[in-house]
A and B are shown apart, each in its own frame.
Chain A
Amino acid sequence: GAGVSQSPSNKVTEKGKDVELRCDPISGHTALYWYRQSLGQGLEFLIYFQGNSAPDKSGLPSDRFSAERTGGSVSTLTIQRTQQEDSAVYLCASSLAWRKNIQYFGAGTRLSVL
């Protein structure tokens, strides 16, 4: 497919476990973003990557959250020692980081921490 792909679509985990969420951006897009959507906080920026530049991690809520982008393409968001407040939909987006810089989103991963 030509769009942003995220997996898994749903993830249920127990409090204290680690989880990994995957994002495969649109081919050729140089920038990749992670956002979180929760009932109480709305849509929040977490982190973005662009090319070989250092990522902007300014939105990560705690040091339990980390992300990497391998080979300038696929990204993994890792949440360690999950807490119930981490329950949310995690959205990934990608863009060309040029001109309008329109971000195109994947369908998201719904994370439920029991």
Chain B
Amino acid sequence: AQKITQTQPGMFVQEKEAVTLDCTYDTSDPSYGLFWYKQPSSGEMIFLIYQGSYDQQNATEGRYSLNFQKARKSANLVISASQLGDSAMYFCAMREGSGAGTASKLTFGTGTRLQVTL
């Protein structure tokens, strides 16, 4: 079974509008971390935002926020006031385990390609 599911292969949004990119996950580990990365056409993976499984509040970083619904196992990324530079691939990823003091691999979803239009 897939551990990270991103059901939207492609999304379009108009400049200055908000957009939500979906991500659901599957784990039996009570301690985990959820990440969103942006990959522009240049290829580099850019970290955007992190949500820990025990975090009480939804994470926010500037125009990015994470809509974390633990019971539904979803961690959707919300980008507010979209800009042309937001056009890129977006990946949701999960780390199982607390991450504290130990390395742990990330499992990635298949990504969503976001295109921001004028």
Contact surface of A with B, Cβ cutoff 8 Å: 30-31, 33, 35, 42-43, 45, 48-50, 56, 59, 89, 91, 93, 95, 97-108, 110
Contacts and interface: CB of A to CB of B under 8 A. Distances in A.
By CB atoms of chain A within 10 A, which of B33, B44, B52, B108 has the most? B44
Interface string B33-70: 10101000011111100101000000000000000000
Contacts of B109: 42
A102 B35 contact: yes
Contacts of B52: 100
Contacts of B44: 105-108
By CB atoms of chain A within 10 A, which of B33, B47, B103, B109 has the most? B103
Interface in B83-118: 91, 93, 95, 99-111
By CB atoms of chain B within 10 A, which of A35, A56, A93, A100 has the most? A100
Contacts of B46: 105
Nearest to A30: B103
Contact of B103 (A35, A48, A108, A110): A48
A31 B109 CA distance: 22
Nearest to B42: A107
B110 A31 contact: no
Interface residues of B, number: 27
Q: List 5 tightest A-B contacts by C-beta distance, closest first.
A: A101-B99, A31-B103, A105-B45, A50-B103, A43-B108
21 contacts: A33-B105, A43-B108, A45-B106, A45-B107, A50-B103, A59-B105, A97-B103, A99-B100, A100-B33, A100-B50, A101-B33, A101-B95, A101-B99, A101-B100, A101-B103, A101-B104, A104-B47, A105-B44, A105-B46, A107-B43, A108-B43
Contacts of A101: 33, 95, 99-100, 103-104
B50 A102 contact: yes
Contacts of A93: 45
By CB atoms of chain A within 10 A, which of B46, B104, B105 has the most? B105
Nearest to A89: B43
B99 A48 contact: no
Given A103-B106, A105-B37, 5 more contacts: A45-B106, A48-B104, A56-B105, A91-B45, A105-B45
